[in-house]
Each structure stands twice: as C-alpha cells, then as structure tokens.
Amino acid sequence: MGRPASLELHYSASEQVLALAIDPSQTTPRGELTYQEAIMLSENPLAVWLFGTVLNYAIGIPDSMVRSLQPEDRIILNTDTGASLQFVVAEVDERPNYATSELFSQDRIGMTLFALPAISEDNVAIAVANYDISQENVAAVPTWEIGDSLPLGPVELRVTDAAFNHTLNGRLDVAITGEITGDIAANTVLLSLSSRADQTESVDLQLTDETTSWGSAFTVSEDVQGTTLFSEFRVFPSGDVETVRLGEAPRLAESLQITMTESVWHLDRGEATVRLSILNPGDGAVRLGPDYFQTSMEGGDLPYVVVPNLPVLIPGGETVVLDVSFIPAVLDQNVRMRIGSNLWEVSGFPNP
C-alpha cells in the first residue's frame, strides 16, 4: 500500500479542498514529535505523519485546518504507490495534551488529525475520522463473498455466516463466523465491520495453532439495516488485507407477521383495546420500540398504551401478544393504527 505521501482535506461547508504533502516523523525519547514549527506556521505547511501508525494514521496539521473540519467532511490519504484511502470525519473536539495519546491507538482502522502546533498543552484540537471502506469496495476486484476462500498472506480464510439480532437498547448485534487454515500462530488477524452507516473498531480473532474455526461479535447502529455491510481482515506482520461483502444487513422488523386477534370496547371508561399477535419467523431477535406504533385520527396523533411495556424483544421463531389501548377523541371517526409499515383502521366505536 505504501507510505503516506499527501493528504486532501475536503471541507463541505466552504466546498474547499486543501492538499498537503506529508512528512514522516518520529518521537524523541521523551515522547515529543519532531517537526519544523516555522514550516507548520507558514503559508505552505506540511502534514506530519507519526511514523509507524498504519492502522489508525496519526497526522499533525495546522490548528485552523483541524478546527475547520466538521463531521461528514472527507479526507483522502494518497500513498507513494498511488493508492488512495478515504476517510470520513466522525468527531472534532479539543483535548489536553496528556489525553491525546489514547487517540493514536492502533486497535482501530481510521485516522486521527491533531493540531501541530497546538494552541497550548491544555487545548489540542483533534479530528477523529473513520476509514470509508464502502468507497474502496466500489472499485475492488475481485470482491469476496460469504463462502469464498480468500488468501490472506500466510493464511487462508473463509466467512461462513453472518447473523443479526436486535438488542433491547436499540442496537444491532452482528455475529460473524468462519474457518481458517495456514500459519496461524505466527500471525495476528484483525477483523472490523463497515458500512456507510457505521464502522467498528478492529478486533483480534485470538487464533492459535489449534484454531480451525473462529467467531467474533460486534454491536453496531440500527441504521446499518438496509445498507451493504463489509468485513475487513488484516493479517500482521505481513500487512495483507482482504474484504468480504456480507451483503445487505436485513431490516429485521419487516419480516414480522402481525395479526389483529381481538378488539374490545370498555364501556365504563370509553377506551378501546386491540390485541395483536406478532410472530417473528426469522432467526434473529427483533426489537419493538415505541416508534413501532402510532395511533391517530383526523385531528392528529392519539395517545396510546401498550401492554407489556415497550421496548419488547421478540426472539427468532417466537410470538408475542400485545394489547394496544387508546381513547378515541371522536367516536364516529376511524382510528388509524400504524404498526411498523402496516396501516390498520379501527372503527365502530359505540355511542354512549
């Protein structure tokens, strides 16, 4: 892939693109980065790359360039072999100098930009960016799929399955399993997941000589559902990297089968209760949150109560029964119930 050679900063707010040549640098025995301050403060500054940071690139640029970045701005790193790596800014912040070293950790794939020089030791501007693997894979040939055996330097690896489950707190669990052969114990294999909606840190598969199968679990945003998900494998010390397309992450709630089994009018309190039977025919658990239901009439939204309380997690292959209760504002109007992507109408409320 080569060494970093130049950096492009794409500022969405100003539609400006700044390009900087990259100068590699190392730290002194005291942990201080060596650089030419006069050049960094000039009209033609450089980007200073902390030599050896190759998973999470640590690069110093002028303070104003860091502070002008915003989340979703793009960064392109060009190497001396002609490769281009794309990153998306996730966070722009300030940190005291003593708290910045953890940002350079090599346990994630991405980039950390920091102000060089900083305003002060107590005020270092930083920008954390995630590696945009989706852009790389648009042009990647070949693209590996689940079930393919892919050569990864000294090992051969295969992804056999990807399983998806909602969590009760509104996230998505992704479990990846596979098989591996080759010179395993002498190498470290890192795995990360990425889509246009989210990206995980890299994890070590913890392989040994006896390992023939492996598994790893991640928790990502629910926004990953409906997007193409990729798994990236990196092996060290060789540095080989391969990517497997896991396909489109399923929208788990769309598979639910909903049946309205009963409706009851409580004359004493003017309240209607609709009983729903909801089957999850899939393998993964599905979460029903408050936003899964909505009741309304012509005048607007109608308050409702669900028993049992939401959120509810429906394991794969199981059925839950929910009671949705509401008080119609006008008895001769229909009540619209939106349940997921389904729309129901409830009518026939008796006049007192």
Q: What is the number of helices (H) and of strands (E) in the chain?
A: 3, 27
pLDDT in tens, 182-231: 888 788 888 888 887 787 878 889 888 888 899 999 999 998 999 889 89
User: What does the pLDDT read at residue 257?
Assistant: 95
179-216 per-residue burial string, b: 16 or more CB within 10 A, e: under 16: ebeeebeebebbbbbbbbbbbbbbbebebeeebeebeb
- Domains of the chain: residue spans and CATH: 4-131 (2.40.260.10), 137-250 (2.60.40.10), 253-346 (2.60.40.10)
Q: What is the pTM of this model?
A: 0.61
pLDDT in tens, 70-92: 999 999 998 876 778 899 999 99
* Residue 189: closest CA among 172, 207, 177: 207
Q: Name residue, tokens 């993964």.
A: 284
Residue stretches of the chain with pLDDT short of 70: 1-2, 27-32, 81, 100-101, 133-143, 351-352
User: What does the pLDDT read at residue 31?
Assistant: 60
Q: DSSP H helical segments within 118-174, as ranges?
A: 133-138
Please report, as a single letter, which amino acid is at residue 27: T
User: What does the pLDDT read at residue 115?
Assistant: 93
CA 254 to chain centre: 21
Query: Percentage of the chain with pLDDT > 90?
Result: 52
